[in-house]
């Protein structure tokens, strides 16, 4: 079994916050891959389903961001999972909006949700870093991450969520490369291979009509010459 954890804050007022992109990611996976209904357990909302041959538990901790690790730790102990069975989806200030990176282990870089997860299960879990960009100054970070995505963000945000969902089966099987390829097909689709110099087929002209058969007799042809 794999545990996919989306980080965010509970409640309608936070639903569209940049800080809640982790919730949005697991919501999209649940919807696209026909997971079961969301239920409450482990101080979290969770949904069960399958991605390929792997059973997966999706989780959205309801403890608020800075205590997310409590829920993750409870679920891990209940299902007897290792920290390497856990993947956390979270917002990432150090990536440009629309960029996604998969990462195994590492530090929490000051992210309150990751810091809490570290405290409860250690650092050896996987992460999917979902870029939201940086506001530019440290004092602007809190209002920025707790602010809603702008309307102008809608297109790239949709591409990111669709890409993450497309690649979720690969992520569950441990193939980070194929996961990133699936994301890239949504966020950076390949350009058309058509060249402007390539010859374009011209419409074929209509075939010339054959002249009608001359049905005159030899005498008529001779008389017509002297007319």
DSSP character for 88?
E
Q: What pLDDT does 79 receive?
A: 95
Q: Is 125 helix (H, G, I), strand (E, B) or coil?
A: coil
The pLDDT score that the predictor gives to residue 210 is 52
Task: Give the pLDDT score at 223.
Answer: 57
Q: Which two tokens stand for residue 24?
A: 């949005």
What is the reported pLDDT for 41?
A: 93
Residue position matching structure tokens 């409870």: 74
Tell me the three-class secondary structure of 63-76, residue by residue: CCHHHHHHHHHHHH
Residue 89 tokens, joined = 């989806």
Q: Catalytic: 120?
A: no
What structural domains does the chain harbor?
2-187 (3.40.50.1470)
Give per-10-residue mean pLDDT for the chain (227 aa).
97 96 98 97 96 97 95 95 96 96 89 94 96 95 96 96 97 96 91 52 50 62 58
Q: Hey, what are 21's tokens?
A: 């992109």
Sign of the alpha-carbon dihedral angle for 137, 142, 146, 147: negative
Is residue 187 exposed (0-12), middle (13-18) or buried (19+ Cβ within 10 Å)? middle
Residue 47 contacts residue 38 (beta carbons within 8 Å)? yes
Alpha helices for the chain (secondary structure H) = 21-32, 68-79, 112-121, 141-145, 154-172, 176-187, 218-225
Q: By three-state DSSP, how is residue 15 classified?
A: coil
pLDDT at 93: 95
pLDDT value of residue 26: 98
Determine the pLDDT at residue 100.
97
Q: Give the separation between CA 221 and CA 103, rounded to whole angstroms.
A: 93
162-165 CB contacts, 8 Å cutoff, 24+ apart = 162/28, 162/186, 163/100, 163/187, 164/25, 164/28, 164/29, 164/89, 164/100, 164/128, 164/130, 165/25, 165/28, 165/29, 165/32, 165/33
Reading the block at residue 61, the tokens are 């901790």
Rounded CA-CA distance 181/51 in Å is: 17
User: In this predicted structure, what is the pLDDT of residue 201?
Assistant: 47
Tokens 């403890």 sit on residue: 63
* 19, 33, 118, 170: the active-site residue: 19
Per-residue confidence (pLDDT) for residue 195, from 0 to 100? 47
In 10 A of CB 75, how many CB atoms? 23
Q: What is the pTM of this model?
A: 0.82
DSSP helix/strand/coil, 158? helix
């Amino acid at each position: 079994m794999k545990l996919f954890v989306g980080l965010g804050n509970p409640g309608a007022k936070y639903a569209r916050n940049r800080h809640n992109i982790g919730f949005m990611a697991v919501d999209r996976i649940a919807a696209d891959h026909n997971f079961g209904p969301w239920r409450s357990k482990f101080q979290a909302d969770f949904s069960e389903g399958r991605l390929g041959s792997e059973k997966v538990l999706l989780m959205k901790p309801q403890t608020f961001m800075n205590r997310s690790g409590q829920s993750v730790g409870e679920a891990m102990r209940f299902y007897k999972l290792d920290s390497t069975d856990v993947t956390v989806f979270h917002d990432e200030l150090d990536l440009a909006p629309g960029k996604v990176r998969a990462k195994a282990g590492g530090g929490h870089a000051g992210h309150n949700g990751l810091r809490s997860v570290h405290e409860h299960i250690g650092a050896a879990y996987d992460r999917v870093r979902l870029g939201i960009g940086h506001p530019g100054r440290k004092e602007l970070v809190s209002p920025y991450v707790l602010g809603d995505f702008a309307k102008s963000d809608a297109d790239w945000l949709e591409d990111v969520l669709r890409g993450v969902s497309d690649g979720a089966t690969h992520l569950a099987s441990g193939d980070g490369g194929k996961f990133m390829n699936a994301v890239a097909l949504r966020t950076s689709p390949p350009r058309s291979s058509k060249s402007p110099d390539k010859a374009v087929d011209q419409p074929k002209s209509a075939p010339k009509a054959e002249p009608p058969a001359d049905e005159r007799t030899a005498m008529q042809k001779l008389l017509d010459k002297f007319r």
